[in-house]
Amino acid sequence: MKLYLLFLSLEDFMLPCLNKKLFGFDCPGCGIQRSLAHLVDGEFIAAFKMYPAIYTLLFFGGFIVLNRKINFKYAQKIILILAVLNIFIILGNYIIKMNLQIN
């Protein structure tokens, strides 16, 4: 059983996008799983090209986890700023990706 796991890659465990399966077009989160797989493989530029918000999302998640251990003074403001930044990056990337698919 353990020998079998050596031959599997992260891509064997990726979930399909239900939005793409049902409606035929990408959702704003499409590409995040493959981007994480690129990060694990050490392909940092490929991870960014796959999903540009990957680094800000990881920083955002890391800050939230770290804030649970160490209470930062302006944590709520920082979390709000990081959340808005991530929303802009995700939606901006989605709009660009959809415009490229249409053209």
CA atoms of 32 and 54, how far apart (whole Å):
7
| pLDDT one-digit tens code per residue, 57-72 | 999 999 999 999 998 8
Domain borders along the chain are 26-102
- pLDDT at residue 1, rounded to an integer: 47
CA atoms of 76 and 72, how far apart (whole Å):
9
Which tokens belong to 26? 């990408």
- pLDDT at residue 9, rounded to an integer: 64
- Supply the pTM of this predicted model: 0.77
In sequence order, what are the residues at sequence separation of 6 or more whose Cβ sits closer than 8 angstroms to the Cβ of residue 78? 63, 72
Regions of the chain with pLDDT less than 50: 1, 3, 5-6
- pLDDT at residue 87, rounded to an integer: 96
In sequence order, what are the residues at sequence separation of 6 or more whose Cβ sits closer than 8 angstroms to the Cβ of residue 71? none
